[in-house]
Amino acid sequence: MQDVEATAQIDAIISAARAAANRGDWLTAERLWKELRALEPGNAQAAFGLAIHAMRRGEFKTALPLIEQACAASPNDLLARLTLGIAWRELGEPERELDAIDAALAIDPYFLPAILAKASWFERKSAEAAAALFYQTALKFAPDEPAWPPALRAQLLHARAIADRFAETMERQMWELLAPHLSNAPALEQERWKEAASIIAGRTKPFPSQCNQLHVPRLPAVPFFDTAQFPWFDAIEAATDAIRAELMAALKQDRRQFTPYVAYKPGAPVNQWKELNHSERWSAYHFWRSGVAIDEHLAACPRTAEALRRVDMATIGGLCPNAMFSALAPHTHIPPHTGETNARVVAHLPLIVPDGCSYRVGYERRRWEVGKVLVFDDTIEHEARNDSDELRVVLIFDVWNPHLSPTEREVARVTMEAVRRLTGVTGESDSVGAAQSTQAHAAVHRRSL
């Protein structure tokens, strides 16, 4: 009976001491820890509590044996191990500090405060590379920024600043070493090794193909294609002026035909598309949509229709071709996202491009130039910006991935027909398909230009 009463008394003192500390009543808290230590001299919590109060007063020599007692009594107490490191640091014993940090990490290699402490230790030692690597590790193990623990926020912000600065420097230095070996290499090879340097430095991650509907395995994830792979390339560039004239007429005569590109049905999760959902800030004048021709628009823009018919457009019923004038309003950002299938790739013919517009596919950033076609794999994360005060418009259309054989093109069609038959999903604009696409978009790591 006495043991039960003693345990209850000890528990009550611990609870009261913690409550006093939480409300900032340090004198009461310390008095209670001393009371507990008198009742139970080996109590680890009492030793640790008194050590914290001694450290608050700068009495680190007094605190040290108390923390060591707490660690001995509770060898797996991560906070006690880390506090021991702080005490050794303040006593001018950095090697013993590191031993205490490593002891905490030996118990839990993912303990974020200990990883940050080790990074800080290397930073104080001017070991820039080691510090940056541990700061990178801390950021990797930390939750997303909105969920950062308030007590660690300042340290994590510092960690990001150090890691970013080191990664930027390392990327630049690596490229300076690699560039002489690639001076005569094609642009595609140079871009590949620039990205390799960025990945090694930790500035970016590999960008895989992420398809929301049909994924064809083992196709290379190429951000931007060499336009020499497309025999229609010269002809559509030559038609730029005629196409642009029809665009200007469409903008002038009936702007209402430019409808919001993002238009999810009520109840569908919109995620990063919330700001653009049903918004005219990103609008489209469709010629083909999910494989369906918009005859009215094709008739209104005959030169554009003729140019598109000369293109080897991808035809997968319910999915593509898609072709449109894509209008991006001033000061509008299309957030990072991925497309529906890597069986097709996407082409842009820029028609109206004010200064301040840019485009990213994976690692590579490009600027549109009027009349210069870009062909890219839209299943690689991509985003677009119009930071100008004017409208930006490009002609967008789907073409077959050049790595697919004629047989595989037919198999792609058959595959999506089977999907529609078995699931009831009718195409990109179907509510189920939209929900699937949105969920896939949500999984994409978001980056800013």
* pLDDT over 70, % of the chain: 93
Nearest Cα residue to 356 out of 326, 379, 327, 330: 330
Summarize pLDDT for 115-153 with one digit per residue, the tens: 999 999 999 999 999 999 999 999 999 999 999 999 999
Residue 4's pLDDT is 67
Residue 268's pLDDT is 82
Residue 139's pLDDT is 95
The structure's pTM equals 0.77
Summarize pLDDT for 148-193 with one digit per residue, the tens: 999 999 999 999 999 999 999 999 999 999 999 999 998 888 988 9
The sheet carrying 357-361 orders its strands as 332-337, 382-386, 357-361, 364-366
Residue spans of the chain under pLDDT 70: 1-2, 4, 424-449
Angle at 445 between CA 343 and CA 214, to 5 degrees: 20
Residue 447's pLDDT is 34
Q: Which domains are assigned to the chain?
A: 2-167 (1.25.40.10), 227-442 (2.60.120.330)
Summarize pLDDT for 403-440 with one digit per residue, the tens: 999 999 999 999 999 888 887 666 554 433 343 343 33
